[in-house]
Amino acid sequence: MTISKKSAPVHQVEPEEKEPTSVAGLVLENRLGYALRRAQLTVFKHFNEAMQAYEIRPAQFSSLVVIEGYPGITQTNLAKVLDIDPPRIVSLINHLEERGLALRVRCKRDKRSHGIFLSKKGEALTQQLKELAEQSDIQATQSLSEIERRQLLSLLVKIYAPDTADE
Amino acid sequence: MTISKKSAPVHQVEPEEKEPTSVAGLVLENRLGYALRRAQLTVFKHFNEAMQAYEIRPAQFSSLVVIEGYPGITQTNLAKVLDIDPPRIVSLINHLEERGLALRVRCKRDKRSHGIFLSKKGEALTQQLKELAEQSDIQATQSLSEIERRQLLSLLVKIYAPDTADE
DNA sequence: CGCATATAGTTATAGTTGTTAACTAGATGG
DNA sequence: CCATCTAGTTAACAACTATAACTATATGCG
């Protein structure tokens, strides 16, 4: 059902002739949340194209990098670092494990928890992907100079991790 | 099924003792896409809290602002401006129409298309929400100075709309 | 005119993600 | 030994996005 007859007394009016195609001139242009969202989608699109051949999604890449940096990290801590919910980690690691990129190792002391490690194959792939990811970032932000790119990064970190940002 | 026995010859090892809780020191810290995603989530969280009382989601807010700026815009053009697919517009406008915030007006010349307008109620609400949104943005980015915030905004626009950015 | 093609909006569908509640196995502390 | 806690898991579900296909109008051309 399409509800088209409503209260407000607006007469038959023609749609805009201008045919706008951007948010130029609108309040949206000054909305940080909106700009962040659009920029993120732009960068992710490039990233996904670059990773397509490897069938690696953003969250998988992030996991690989964190595991590489903290070999033996538990799933709970991985969830904390990436700020995602524990249930998401399960299928994430399952995929990596099925592909032979990572593996769970049951902890001797606390048999509830698993340390996660990269396989040799996983390590090699992660190296490759890190390079690809950097190239993708640069390509997606070609309108920025290297200095601007660094500036942007530093501003973003200040937002999502104000405690760890430089200082 | 949990596949835990894999090829790579890794022995029983203890998980990290460090218990990391951030991405500090990792390559992720230098990944623009990751930083954008995390920052966006941070800002959206604040936004959603601010809008909770009004039951307005980000895409609805964006729509309201664009319709306010281009009264009578067609659904197709709204989709282009927001860079979303036409089918999403339908339920978006349905919701706004059901709540009496916006309305479709069939175009006389081209009976296929609808111009979208805000009702008086919709206009009033949009005014309110724009203020709330700005406050929310500022609150979400308290670690940034006003200058930094403007810098950030300008860098983001350069990424997602390099053609319209200043110049 | 009448037909082929194109467009605006819509519907339905399905894939993907994120969220929540509840369960199991093991740990911890009285 | 029992109550309580924690790590990981499972399952159910809500939300979002993308795709294909349908309708009604519109347009252009022989």
Name which of B43, B81, B103 is nearest A22 (Cβ-Cβ): B81
pLDDT score recorded for residue B166: 57
B85 CA vs C14 C1’ separation (Å): 16
pLDDT score recorded for residue A50: 93
pLDDT score recorded for residue A162: 87
pLDDT in tens, B56-88: 999 999 999 999 999 999 999 999 999 999 999
A69 CA vs D14 C1’ separation (Å): 34
Q: pTM of the predicted model, to two decimals? A: 0.86
> Is B70 at the interface with chain A, CB within 8 A?
yes
The pair of three-digit structure tokens given for residue A66, joined into one six-digit string:
């964190």
> Is A147 at the interface with chain B, CB within 8 A?
no
Strand D-proximal residues, CB under 7 Å?
A 74-77, 86-87, 89-90, 93, 104, 110, 112-114; B 1-2, 57, 59, 84-85, 87-88, 109-112
Nucleotide nearest to A76 (CA to C1'): D7
In 3D, which of A140, A150, A75 has the Cα closest to residue A113? A75
In 3D, which of A23, A26, A10 has the Cα closest to residue B100? A10
Phi and psi torsions of B86, nearest 5°: -45, -45
Q: How far is B1 from chain A (nearest CA, A)?
A: 10
Name which of B20, B83, B98 is nearest A3 (Cβ-Cβ): B98
pLDDT tier, B90 (very low <50, low <70, confident <90, very high otherwise): very high
pLDDT score recorded for residue B2: 35
Q: Annotate A39-64 with DSSP letters as a single string.
A: HHHHHHHHHHHHHGGGT--HHHHHHH
Low-confidence residues of chain A, pLDDT below 70?
1-25, 165-167
Phi and psi torsions of A118, nearest 5°: -90, 145
Chain B residues near residue A141 by CB distance under 8 angstroms = 32, 158-159
B115 vs A26: CB contact, 8 Å cut-off? no
Lowest mean pLDDT, pick from B21-25, B32-36, B92-96, B137-141: B21-25
pLDDT tier, B26 (very low <50, low <70, confident <90, very high otherwise): confident
Q: CA–CA distance from A23 to each of A167, B146, B152, B157 (Å)?
A: 36, 22, 17, 10
- Closest-CA residue in chain A for B8? A119
